[in-house]
Structure 1
Amino acid sequence: MRSASTWHKPVIANSAIAGAGAGLVSSIVTCPLDVIKTKLQAQSTVHGSQGYLGIRGTITSILKNQGIRGLYRGLGPTILGYLPTWAIYFAVYDETKNWLGDSEYGGSPGEEGHLRKRQVWATHLVAAMTAGASGTIATSPLWVIKTRFMTQPQDEMQYRHTWDAFQTIYRSEGWRAFYRGLLPSLLGVTHVAVQFPLYEQLKHWFADRRGIATVQLSSGTIFLCSALSKMTASVATYPHEVIRTRLQIQRNPHSGVLADTRTYRGFVQTTIRILRREGWRGLYKGLSINLVRTIPNNAVTLVTYELLMRQLTNR
Structure 2
Amino acid sequence: TRTDGFRSLGVYQSLRKVLKHEGVIGFYKGNGASVVRIIPYAALHFMTYERYRGWILDNYSFMGSGPIIDLLAGSASGGTAVICTYPLDLARTKLAYQVTDTRTNFRSGIRSLYLQPAYNGIRDVLTSVYREGGIRGLYRGVGPTLAGILPYAGLKFYIYEVLKLHVPEEHQKSIAMHLSCGAVAGLFGQTFTYPLDVVRRQMQVESLQCSTIQGGTRYRNTLDGLTAIARNQGWRQLFAGLSINYIKMVPSVAVGFASYDMMKVWLRIPPRQKSQT
Counterparts of 2:169 and 2:8, CA distance in 1: 47
In the superposition, the TM-score normalised over structure 2's length comes to 0.83
1:29-50 per-position Cα deviation (integer Å, ceiling 9, x unaligned) = xxxxxxxxxxxx23469xxxx7
Tell me what 1:148 maps to: 94
Count of matched residue pairs: 254
Matches within 5 A, 1:152-163: 152-154=98-100, 155=113, 156=116, 158-163=118-123
Tell me what 2:180 maps to: 224
- Say which of 40, 43, 47 aligns to 1:84: 40
Counterparts of 1:66 and 1:252, CA distance in 2: 18
Q: Does 1:260 align with 2:214?
A: yes
The answer (yes or no) to whether the contact 2:56–2:69 under 8 Å persists in 1 is yes
Structure 2 residue identity aligned to 1:199: Y
Q: Does 1:97 align with 2:30?
A: no
Tell me what 2:142 maps to: 182
Q: Percent identity?
A: 26
* Aligned-residue offset at 1:140: 1.3
Counterparts of 1:262 and 1:135, CA distance in 2: 32
Matches within 5 A, 1:2-41: 41=1
Counterparts of 2:14 and 2:153, CA distance in 1: 28
- Give the 3 Å change call, closer, same or farther, for CA 157–259 of structure 1 in structure 2: closer
Matches within 5 A, 1:50-69: 51-69=7-25
Structure with higher RCO (Cα < 8 A, 6+ apart)? 1
Counterparts of 1:238 and 1:153, CA distance in 2: 23
* Aligned-residue offset at 1:305: 2.2
* Aligned-residue offset at 1:202: 0.7
- Give the 3 Å change call, closer, same or farther, for CA 62–52 of structure 1 in structure 2: farther
Counterparts of 1:52 and 1:183, CA distance in 2: 28
- List gaps (5 residues or longer) in structure 2: 101-112, 270-277
- List gaps (5 residues or longer) in structure 1: 1-40, 102-109
Matches within 5 A, 1:165-314: 165-188=125-148, 189-206=150-167, 209-211=168-170, 216-251=172-207, 259-266=213-220, 267-313=222-268
1:213-244 per-position Cα deviation (integer Å, ceiling 9, x unaligned) = xxx42111111001111111111111000000
SS at match of 2:267: helix
Aligned structure 1 segments of 4 or more residues deviating by more than 6 angstroms: none
The answer (yes or no) to whether the contact 2:212–2:218 under 8 Å persists in 1 is no
Tell me what 2:85 maps to: 139
Counterparts of 1:128 and 1:248, CA distance in 2: 24
* Aligned-residue offset at 1:258: 5.8
* Aligned-residue offset at 1:175: 2.1
The answer (yes or no) to whether the contact 1:97–1:124 under 8 Å persists in 2 is yes
* Aligned-residue offset at 1:283: 0.8
In the superposition, the TM-score normalised over structure 1's length comes to 0.74
